[in-house]
Amino acid sequence: MFNDDRLARRAKTLSARMPAPHFPSEFGEETILFDSGFAAPQLLPALGALAQRALTDHREEVLQYASGRGQPYLREWLCDWMNADGCALTPDHILVTNGAKQGIDLICRLLLDEGDAIVVTAPTYFTAIPIFRNYGVEFVEVGQDAHGFDVAALAAALDARAAEGRALPKLIYNIPEFHNPTGATMSAERRVALVALAEARGIPIVEDSPYRRVRFEGADEPLLKALDRSGNVFHLGTFSKLVAPGLRIGWVAAEPALIARMIQLKSEGGSSPLIQRIIYEFARSADFPAHIERVQAAYCERRDGIVAAVERELPGARIAIPAGGYYVWLSLPPHVDGDMLAAKAGEAGIHLIAGSRFFASTGADIPRNHIRLAFSFTTLDQIANGIARLGAVYRSIAGE
């Protein structure tokens, strides 16, 4: 038996439980997966011809080690893509990563020492929590409302820390669009205020924006990175939510001197040049705009389907309707335990995630009456069937 005393202090924050089954094929047909942010299989693009061409026309390039910072043509494309969205970047501002998650980890490695405080929303993206926790951080949690991140609450929390003589947080992590899990989008006013506050206090912002183009209605709000005039914002992007998560390609946009350091921390030998070439050719092809429209229309239809089904089958739950993204966040009546609902629904073949998993703090006072439902992977029929079955489980718990 391996004695856990030999683990690094950091590793002792990690759960020793093996993850639950992951692939949809590991479950029976009756099982309905509202838990994962898998892409809709019907929307995965046909990339076979591009892969073939990459391996023949660019054989040497795609089979050699990649550039540590990402292939130059992809960084140029990403730079143009972000500049068309209001930024003022050069390719030196871009680091290609193995998904946005690797970007989160690299930023932590760059900025955090054990004992540092960081700001996250309550709730926040649950996969990021163990990554942050592994760096030995203290969490400062800030709430959200319909306009997203509560900047005034953050300003008050920072003032309180300063008054107590405590060090300021080392970063502010947020998902400004179609937040995971709440679906909330920050208003332009809040964005301007957050960028100004963070700059005034000298606290870097990490803008994690995987769902930006998965918008169903309404106009874009400005990127935090586009409002950043001092290099204080790290922007995280990814192709996971718009193209395919299995490609594992994302990026960080930040000041070149910070990118240069992160390149040295990126220990896997460079993100796959084959995949970078395939994505680049797809992104610059005429198929890409049509693909984006297809993605937006299909997820919008699923969003509408799940909202209608929840309103029909779980009338006691309050649903926050997101204008984009992959998830809906349900607030249940206070006496309904989201952990119990998730467990009982799982036994009935309906997989979803209890809201409590999305809180960085572990105390007894975290709200228990929420659940998150992903609508990205399930068909409209599965949504109708799955939410009807969830409604039956809900009624057995809620006594409605």
Ligand X SMILES: Cc1ncc(COP(=O)(O)O)c(C=O)c1O
By beta-carbon proximity to ligand X, the closer residue of 87 and 100 is: 100
Interface with ligand X, residue 250, by CB under 6 A = yes
Give helix then strand counts, H and E, for the chain: 13, 15
Question: Do the beta carbons of residue 235 and residue 225 sit within 8 Å?
Answer: yes
Can you tell me the distance from the alpha carbon of 162 to that of 180, in angstroms, rounded to the nearest whole number?
30
Number of residues in the chain? 400
Question: How many residues of this chain bind ligand X (CB under 6 A)?
Answer: 13
* CA-closest candidate to residue 210, choices 128, 269, 122, 320: 128
Neighbours of 134 (CB within 10 A): 18
The nearer residue to ligand X, 100 or 307, going by C-beta atoms, is 100
Residue 125 lies near ligand X (rule: CB under 6 A): yes
* Residue whose CB is less far from ligand X, 125 or 299: 125
d(CA 288, CA 309): 31
| By CB under 6 A, residue 322 contacts ligand X | no
* Nearest Cα to Cα of residue 174 among 104, 100, 121: 121
Q: Binding of ligand X at residue 37 (CB under 6 A)?
A: yes
Question: Among the candidate windows 5-13, 40-48, 237-245, 350-358, which touches ligand X by CB under 6 A?
Answer: 237-245
270 binds ligand X per the rule CB under 6 A: no
Residue placing its CB nearer to ligand X in the complex, 36 or 83 = 36
Of the pair 158, 374, the CB lying nearest ligand X is at 374
Indicate the residue among 244 and 341 with the shorter CB distance to ligand X.
244
The residue type of 43 is L
C-beta nearest to ligand X: residue: 99
What is the Cα–Cα distance from 203 to 118, expressed in whole angstroms?
9
The one-character DSSP state at 176 is: -
| Rounded least distance, CB 258 to ligand X, Å | 19
Residue 121 interacting with ligand X (CB under 6 A): no
Tell me how far, at minimum, the Cβ of 158 lies from ligand X, in Å: 23
**45 in contact with ligand X (CB under 6 A):** no
- Considering the complex, state which of residue 124 and residue 232 has its C-beta at the smaller distance from ligand X: 124
Please state the closest distance from residue 125 (CB atom) to ligand X, in A: 4
For the window 80-119, what string marks contact with ligand X as x by the rule CB under 6 A? -------------------xxx------------------
Distance CA(21)–CA(18), nearest Å, equals: 9
- Nearer Cβ to ligand X, position 123 or 338? 123
Of 47 and 397, the one with the shorter C-beta distance to ligand X is 47
- Starting at the edge strand found earlier in the chain, the sheet holding 353-354 runs 318-320, 327-331, 370-374, 353-354
Query: Sign of dihedral through CA atoms 85, 327, 305, 321?
Result: negative
Widest CA span in the chain: 64
Residue 339's H or E segment, with its range, is: helix 338-347
Q: Are 79 and 92 in contact (CB under 8 A)?
A: no
Q: What mask, x for binding ligand X by CB under 6 A, covers residues 171 to 200?
A: ----x----x--------------------
Applying CB under 6 A, among 238, 272, 369, 376 the residue interacting with ligand X is 238
134: contact with ligand X by CB under 6 A:
no
The two structure tokens encoding residue 251: 């990026």
Instruction: Report residue 198 as tokens.
Output: 């963070």
Question: Is residue 210 at the binding interface for ligand X, with CB under 6 A as the rule?
Answer: yes
Residues that bind ligand X (CB under 6 A): 37, 99-101, 125, 175, 180, 208, 210, 238, 240, 245, 250
